[in-house]
Amino acid sequence: MAKKGDKRKIIGMVSAESKERIYYTTKNTMNTPDKLELRKYSPKLRKHVLFVETKKNLGRNEVKPKKH
């Protein structure tokens, strides 16, 4: 059972090239407030590509553009 006031949130990782959500992980939102970007293996493309953080409960798998 989760602790009260737990700062870790579940996030989905979406491929920047194939737009598919394969990986899910947790992150501490207090320590890393910006979006997480990781290079991970995509079995569909059969190579390592950039995966970008999205919300877990999104109904669609799309990468939202960054605001600068």
Residue 43 lies in a domain: yes
Residue 60 lies in a domain: no
* Structural domain for 29, as ranges: 8-55
> What is the pTM (predicted TM-score) of this model?
0.70
**Tally of domains within the chain:** 1
Residue 62 lies in a domain: no
How many C-beta neighbours within 10 Å does residue 13 have? 19
Q: Is the pLDDT confidence value at 47 over 70?
A: yes
What's the rounded Cα separation, in Å, for the pair 36 and 60?
A: 18
CATH number reported for the structural domain that contains residue 50 in this entry: 2.20.28.120
Residue 68 lies in a domain: no
Residue 18 lies in a domain: yes
User: How would residue 57 be classed by pLDDT, with cut points 50, 70 and 90?
Assistant: low
Residue 38 lies in a domain: yes
> Higher pLDDT residue, 49 or 4?
49
